[in-house]
Amino acid sequence: MRTKRVLMAVLTASVMAVTVAGCGGGGDAPEVPTAADGGASATAGGTKGGADGDGGDELATYVNAQRKWVKCLRENGVDAPDPNAKGQVDFGGDSLALKKDTKYLKASAKCESLLVPVPESVENGNRPKLTPQQIKVKLDYAACMQKNGAPDFPDPGPDGTAQGTEWNQTSAGATRATRICAPIIGDSPNPDAGKG
């Protein structure tokens, strides 16, 4: 199911417009080579893979992988755009139409082995900045969950982003907490009420 998550991240990339300044190595090489030129390495100094503490190598590796995926799509008849500096591929606003496009579906199946998961550092960097009110909602929800039966529910970070996703979602306490705290995030407290 990780592939579906990656595909959805690619399809929803058009919603996020992220500009990155100062990425990549120096010299005359372009910061974001196109997929058409074979996806030249975007890593500085020729280093590949590994994390360098700031996620630069991880980002460069991801962008390079996205270039290879786009190149494969093009070789299979899809007019795919180049990935941006964050590895996002903007197919335009109509992701539903894309999912029904048989040419795209066939090319995607052929190129699926080239899809890589979005690194967490890249995913976090692509998220839009939350407002103070949105951060407060996340903090209130976490506190409510922890007080009402899900003590292992993760606290959000200072910017509102999740700091971990591992918690027991199947316990009776978690079920109770989810029901009690649902209104904080705008969900119904009885999501299964219509099921018989």
190 lies in some domain? no
62 lies in some domain? yes
Question: Are 21 and 116 part of one and the same domain?
Answer: yes
Question: Are 13 and 101 part of one and the same domain?
Answer: yes
Question: Are 89 and 156 part of one and the same domain?
Answer: no
**Residue 161: pLDDT band by 50, 70, 90 thresholds?**
confident
pLDDT at residue number 140: 95
What share of the chain has pLDDT > 90, as a percent? 39
Output the average pLDDT for the chain: 74
Q: Which residue from 172, 180, 170, 192 is spatially nearest to 148, judged by alpha carbons?
A: 180
pLDDT at residue number 34: 53
**Residue 99: pLDDT band by 50, 70, 90 thresholds?**
confident
pLDDT at residue number 52: 39
Letter for the amino acid at 125?
Answer: G
pLDDT at residue number 146: 95
22 lies in some domain? yes
191 lies in some domain? no
Question: Are 87 and 140 part of one and the same domain?
Answer: no
For residues 81 and 3, which has the higher predicted lDDT (pLDDT)? Answer: 81
pLDDT at residue number 122: 81
30 lies in some domain? yes
pTM greater than 0.85 (yes/no) = no
Domain, as residue range, for 147: 132-185
**Residue 36: pLDDT band by 50, 70, 90 thresholds?**
low
pLDDT at residue number 157: 85
Are 84 and 18 within 8 A, CB to CB?
yes
In degrees to the nearest 10, what's the CA dihedral of 125, 127, 132, 136? -110
**Residue 124: pLDDT band by 50, 70, 90 thresholds?**
confident
Q: What is the DSSP string of the chain?
A: -HHHHHHHHHHGGGG------S-S--TTS-SS--GGGT----SGGG--SS--SSSHHHHHHHHHHHHHHHHHHHHTT--PPPP-TTS-----S-HHHHHH-HHHHHHHHHHGGG--PPPHHHHHHHSPPPPHHHHHHHHHHHHHHHHTT-TTPPPB-TTS-BS------SSHHHHHHHHHHGGGGT--S-TTTT--
Question: Are 150 and 83 part of one and the same domain?
Answer: no
